[in-house]
Amino acid sequence: MLISLHELVQKYNINFKGILHVGAHECEEIKDYDIYISRDKVLWVEAMENKVQLCKARFPGINIEQAVVSDKVETVSFNISNNGQSSSILDFGLHSTHHPDVVFVNKMEVETKMLKDIICNYDIDYNFLNLDIQGLELKALKSMEEYLHKVDYIYSEVNSDYVYKDCCLITELDDYLKQFGFNRVETRWAGECRWGDAFYIKM
């Protein structure tokens, strides 16, 4: 997270009821979350099976689901990168310019899932979302649209240009979330790489 969770909590007096974290990777944020909420009130979603197994072994008992998330259920090619973190169903755009050492080394056919079909299986009142899924953040939000009225805070990776081909841009995310009463209150960019993190609050 480019913006510290502790910084956000202090500045906006965040009250955590439940957290949905999409793009778990290795659950790097778990110790930050532990300060504010019990682990049984956090659901992690991760596309890579090896990362899911790693997280289960490292943090026994956590709620974690393996899923490639999109706004509809369909079979897609999932591109696997040599660094793991950049894996996506989208092809590289400017990512290849800024990170030429990161390349796709394999791909697999997978069936996407919608978040609404995952989160309903857990007794968690998700009011904080954390999205980090390589340009598919808008599709993820659309896949749980009927739940957004319960959400108070959204932390999301954002793009100001096409880091991935056909990825959602920050302006598109802003426009979509405004329909549900969210305003972007924090933005931090990762140098000249055209991606960063943003924090939205329901006003």
Residue with tokens 């990776």: 157
Given this model, what pLDDT does residue 50 score? 94
Q: Measured between alpha carbons, how far is 113 from 47 in angstroms, rounded to an integer?
A: 10
Tell me the average confidence (pLDDT) per consecutive run of 10 residues in the chain, 203 residues long.
97 98 97 98 96 98 97 95 87 82 91 98 97 94 97 96 92 97 96 89 96
Establish if 74 belongs to a structural domain.
no
In the chain, the number of structural domains is 1
Q: How far is CA 150 from the centre of its chain?
A: 17
Establish if 79 belongs to a structural domain.
no
Nearest CA-CA partner of 48 in 68, 74, 75, 18: 68
Establish if 179 belongs to a structural domain.
yes
Establish if 125 belongs to a structural domain.
yes
Establish if 91 belongs to a structural domain.
no
Establish if 11 belongs to a structural domain.
yes
Residue 187: domain span: 5-69+115-202
Establish if 110 belongs to a structural domain.
no
Establish if 61 belongs to a structural domain.
yes
Q: Are 35 and 15 in contact (CB under 8 A)?
A: no
This prediction has a pTM of 0.94
Given this model, what pLDDT does residue 154 score? 98
Q: Which domain CATH number covers 40?
A: 3.40.50.150
Q: Are 79 and 91 in contact (CB under 8 A)?
A: yes
Given this model, what pLDDT does residue 91 score? 82
